[in-house]
Structures are given as C-alpha cells and as structure tokens.
Amino acid sequence: MAYSEFTEKDYELIAAEYAILKEDARKRCADEEELAIVQRAFDFANEAHKNIRRRSGEPYMLHPIAVARIVVEDIGLGCKSITAALLHDVVEDTDYTVDDIRNLFGDKVATLVDGLTKIKNVLDTGDKTISDPLAQQSLQAENFKRILLTLNDDVRVVLIKLADRLHNCRTIQHMPEHKRDKILSETMFVFIPLAHQLGLYSIKSELENIWLQYKEPAAYKEVSAKISAFVRERGKDMEAFVAPIDKALKEAGFRFEIKRRVKTPYSVWRKMRVKDITFDQVYDLYAIRIIFEADQQFGKTERDQCWRVFSIITDIYRYNPERLRDWVSNTKANGYEALHCTLIGPGGVWFEVQIRTHRMDDIAEKGIAAHWAYKKDGYIGEEDSEIESWLSRVKEILRNPDVSSLELLDIIHNDLTSSEIFVFTPKGEQRTIQKGATVLDFAYMIHTEIGNRAIVAKVNKRLVPLSRVLRSGDQIEIITAEEGTPKKEWLQFLHTRRARSVVMDYFRDERKQNIEDGRKLLTEHLQGLGYNELDDETRRRLLFHYQLGSMDDLYLRIGLGIVKIDGLHEFFAKKNRSSAASRFWTWWRPRKNGDQAAVQGGYTIATCCNPVPGDAVVGIKSPDGTITVHKKTCPVADSVGTKHGDWIVVPNWDVDPAAEPFCVQIQLKGIDRIGLVNDLTKTVSLLLNANMRKIYLASEDGLFEGYIEVYVRTRQELDTIVAKLQKIDGIESVVRKEL
C-alpha cells in the first residue's frame, strides 16, 4: 500500500462503485435502518482508507467495496456481512480498534471484523522469514488452523474471507511473481476446496480459472482460444437445441428460464489431464440450465417435478444413461440439488442439461447462505442438512487435542477434496459417507455406541467383516454385542477421521501405557538398526516426516499400531544416504521408484511432475540454498506453497545445451493398422532426430492404446513431437502424460 493524495477522479470512482453496491445492498437489507448502517460503514471505512492506494495505484477503498459486492451478489449475505466486508481491513491497516467497531456497529459486526483481522494477520505472518524450516511449517499450518477455527464462531467470517480472496486473485497481476505463486497455492489447496464444500460454485469456478491463468498461462490461453473458436463455429447448434425444449416446456405449462453456458477453461483443462484426452474429445462443452418454478400440478415433490421436465426433454432428444446424475434424490453434502443429464442435439453435439427449481438454483449459486435462508423459512429440515454435518465434523477435528496443526491441514484438505458415496440404512434411509470408508466407519457415523459395540455386519444382506470397504448403493446393517468394545486393531482400517478419533479417545485412559509401548518398540527397532538413541535433530525430522507435533504423539501412534514400525526403515535408509548439508530435504522432496532427482543448471528437478525447460515452473528453496523446480500446476508444489510461504522463489531456469535431456511420456490412442509402429519410430527418430527410450502399444478390436517415452531438452521440442505425431494416419489422441 502507498499514501498519495486522492484526485477528483479517484473520489468519483469510489462514489460510482459504492452506488452499485448500495443498490445491491438495498435488496438484501430488511429496511432503511439496515441500509443506513451500510452507509455509515462505507463513510467510516472511506475516511479511514483516505489517500491510501493499492499496488495497482487505485484507491484502496475500492477493495472493500468489491469484497462487499461479492458478499451480496455472489453469496447473498445480508446487512451485517456487507458492513463487516466494508470494514474488514480497517483494524489491520489503521489506528482504529475492534472496540471502536463494536461501539459504532455492535457486537456481531465487531466479531466478524475481528475474525477477518485475525485471518489476515496469520496469513501475512506466513510470509515472514523464520530460520528454522520446521518452525516455519508449524507456524503456517497453525495459521490455517486458526482460520478454520472461525467456523466455530461464525461461518460468515470464512464466507467473507472467500470474497476477499476472490477479489485479491482478480487483481493478482499487480503482485510480484513469488507472492503470486504463494497466494495461488493457498487458493488451490484450501480456498477452492472450501468454496466447493460451502456450495459457492461461481466463486470456485472463477478462482480455478485465475489459478490456471497464472499457473499455466500457455495452457489457459490455448484452451480459451479453442473454446471461443468452438462457440463461433457451433454457436447456432445451441440455439437449435434449446428451441424445441423451450416450446415443449411452455406447452406443458411450466414457468421457467433457460441459461446457456460453456465449460470453463479450467474445467476443460482438468478434464483433459484427468482423462488423458485432447480438446476435441471433450464432448460436453455446452451446458444449459432449466430453472423452473415449483408447482405441485407437475408432481407432489420438487424431485417429481424435475423428473417431469426430464421426461419432456428426453421425448425430444436421446440421453446418455451413463451420464445421468440424480442429485435431487441424492443431495450432495454441500446441499447441491439438481438433475443432470447429457443429451445429443442437432449435428451430433452433446449438451449437458441441468434441471433445477428456483430454490435449488439459489442454493447452487449462493451455497451455504441460501441453504440456511431456506431452512429458516421452513423449506429444509434439520435432517436434510448434510452441510451442517460437515461443519460439525470440522469442528470436531479442530477440538481434538491429538491432532497437530501439521496433520490438520492435510486432514482438512483431504476431507474437502475427497469423493463421496451414497449408502443406505436397513430401513432404506440414505446416508453420505467418504469414498474408501469401511463398514465400521458407517457404524460410527450412525452412532458412537453402535460403532463401539459392533462385531460384524451385513452388507446387502450378506455377512461381512467390519473392515469391508463400502461401495455406493450398499445397504448396511450393523450387528452389535452388549459386551462389545473397541479394538486397537480397528485403527488400522478405519478411514474417516471421526471414527478414528472416537477409538483413540476410548483408549485415552491407556494413553500413558500406549506411549510407553510405542517408546519401547521404537527403541528396540532403532537398536536393531544400529542406533542407541535419537538426537534432537533426528527427533525433529521424524516429527516432520510423520506430520506430528511431539514425540509423545509419535509414540502413541506406534503403540496403537497406526504408525507401522517397519516403515521407519526407509526413513533411516534415506537418512544414511543423505549428506549433512541436504539431509533434511530428502524427506519432503518427492521421489519416484526410489530414483534420485536429476540436477540441471544448479536446480533439482522434482520427480513428482518432471518439468522440462519451457514449462511454467516454481522454485522451492531450502535453507542450504538448494532449489527444487516444480511445474506450477503440481499438487505437491501447491501443498508446499500453502505450508511454507517463504520457500517459494522464481527460478531462473535456462536451457543448458550440455545438460542431460529429460524423459517424457506421450500417450497415444487411435485406429490400429499395419505399419503404424514403423511410422511412429520413423517420425520420432529419423524425422525429428529424437531419442526414444521406450514404446508400448496394445491393440484390441481394431483400436490401439499405448505410449512412447522420448528424451527432450525443451518444452518446444516436446510440442513439436506432439504436433508431428498427431498428423500420423490413424492416431486420434496424443497427450503428454503427467508422470
């Protein structure tokens, strides 16, 4: 921020932006009195931020106005949240205190502003250099724990923080590159999954697109251009597709609107990566939303009415049964409801169709804020609130004294991004549970005592052990015994955090004994490896390796059988292979199949994403000066950047002609024919003069799949090879594999 006298143009700009906000706020404020509170908040913040400018040079006041607009337009919050958004930087950036806010705007607004100020403080603390890398990671993880603790007080703090993060990302071009990479890593690792979990899809999508735009600018530009070209060429197809649907629904008497959209660049890019396909193979680029007024003449429930719409439109177009998604019967954990289907329209173009009532659409667009608003008005019952179950689950994790800050960040990330399945009780009641959960996890989800006394179960009326992993659609009956009690060995297969916590709590009275058992097991194991005792440095590295806060935490997990003692062998094997200078970093640097990472131009090349010169890359610097280069889109880089903000650097990674080339894998699919392998090898080896390490092709029913591994020195060389391979007769898909 910088101080500079405002000009008349600056004041006009602030007034114009606030006028838009005021009109939006008028729709969310209950009366003129609430609108007057918003006006006072603007006047107060405007004076507090007077003559202060952002990095871009624009008046700082434009930022809180923009955040408040997101709060009201995209999230749908009311007067107190709008007021807090306008004031959210006042305490941090001026001499005013939270008590000043409380005296002027009341306790609730003061509490929201205080929570937002604490979040900003802890995030900014992560930028400060701390010489001890373990202490730095612990500090930054603790910071995020404090952010999530605000869920205990008022979830609106997190919602306003998401609005703040969105506007900061919208203006991220004014940040230096290393700071930009840190913010985007945090955004992908925590804030995007959080927006998804809270049902804020529009915010999630925009954050994803910004992330891709700056993390992989070439890919973002290429995909965006292809989407634009596709729309230009096939735009009339959408109108031709919509017209018969519009006519049929009007004739049926529905009151509705149809919204048209195209997949976002990020969603297309991610689909291409996950499914290893080209842009041309993304067949559901178009989507339309049919949003209608619920009316019982079309069915007793909103679910029935959605299926009525489905019946009408599938009388016009054929649908793909494998792409049918019924989220009106099986509501998502974040409250999302809709019926999705994929139809084939004129010209053979596939369209995704989303069918929703206006209530469902509000929840889809505004997320948790709309969910609670409808519940308050009597539309949603307590038992339907899966999102509140998730919030309760997060709070339970936060309160658990056995969870360190380091563990917490990964737990929350995994919880936010994990897939879910639908299962059923013996009475046919639907429940949502994490993918990978076992029968015993389900028992604990139903009730703690059912879990504690479980001895066996029936899944789909067949006896199964408690360790059986559940599949979507399973119907589960837990069989209990009055004398049944938790067993330590359960911790080896329990998947959900809550179930593990309950079992660990059960053995809390035996904590001292378990710690002592773990200490003894570890000591005996170390003696077998030739170590008489652990020095302080090795202790700290063990805690880092297992993401724990104290040695007692480690001993406890060894004593309970959660940490397998045999797993320590590889830890100490790595320790012995490492030099004193770089020893610490061998435990977090990713390895593949035990290979050592390549070193090129003074940089260590990360084996988790295998970047080549010309890729968009980020550097992660260790205290000994070693820099590991990752692709900017690498999940490992996002995780490290979230936990260690000051490790992020901008590497000056130039092409070194004398350096060893890089091996990359290119996946191929197409129509099999005689001479295909010969054409492949000729193109790569003779025409392009590239060294091919391996080729593998498998053919079945006239089609082939496979890959080649080639050595390249730059991304440009790789792109040339891909372009040439695409021209070979019979090859339909050529994709660089993210190793």
Residue 670 CA neighbour count, 13 Å, CB half = 22
Tell me how crowded residue 660 is: count the other CB atoms within 10 A of its CB.
12
Residue positions annotated with a catalytic role: 92-93
The Cα–Cα gap between 709 and 681 comes to 11
Exposed/middle/buried for residue 594 (C-beta within 10 Å: 0-12, 13-18, 19+): exposed
Distance CA 518, CA 571 (A): 17
Query: Among all chains, which residue has been given the structure tokens 């900014």?
Result: 124
Amino acid 200 reads L
Q: Which class for 461: exposed (0-12), middle (13-18), buried (19 or more C-beta within 10 A)?
A: exposed
CA separation for the pair 306, 316 (Å, rounded) = 16
Residue 574: closest CA among 561, 591, 557, 549: 591
The strand pair at 256-262 and 52-53 is best described as unpaired
Residue with tokens 């397998």: 564
Q: Collect all residues with Cβ–Cβ distance below 8 Å to 98 and sequence separation of at least 6.
A: 91, 110, 113, 114, 117
d(CA 85, CA 82): 5
Within 10 angstroms of residue 464's Cβ, the number of other Cβ atoms is 17
Neighbouring residues of 488: CB distance < 8 A, sequence distance ≥ 6 = 503, 507, 560, 561
CA 556 to chain centre: 31
The torsion angles phi and psi of 281, rounded to 5 degrees, stand at: -95, 0
Work out whether the CA dihedral 162, 168, 170, 175 comes out positive or negative: negative
Q: How far apart are CA 251 and CA 265, in angstroms?
A: 36
Q: Radius of gyration (Cα) for the chain, nearest Å?
A: 28
Q: Do you know the residue count of the chain?
A: 739
The one-character DSSP state at 714 is S
Q: State the chain's maximal CA–CA distance in angstroms.
A: 84
The number of helix segments (H) and strand segments (E) in the chain equals 29, 21
- Residue from 403, 384, 282, 408 nearest 334 by CA: 384
- Tokens describing residue 146: 């404090």
Inter-residue long-range contacts of 579-588, CB under 8 Å, 24+ positions, other chains counted: 581/624, 582/622, 582/624, 582/626, 583/541, 584/133, 584/541, 584/622, 584/623, 585/622, 585/624, 585/626, 585/628, 587/541, 587/544, 587/545, 588/544, 588/640
339 class by beta-carbon count within 10 Å (0-12 exposed, 13-18 middle, 19+ buried) = buried
CB 719 within 8 A of CB 688: no
Q: Is 342 helix (H, G, I), strand (E, B) or coil?
A: strand
End-to-end Cα, the chain, rounded Å? 41
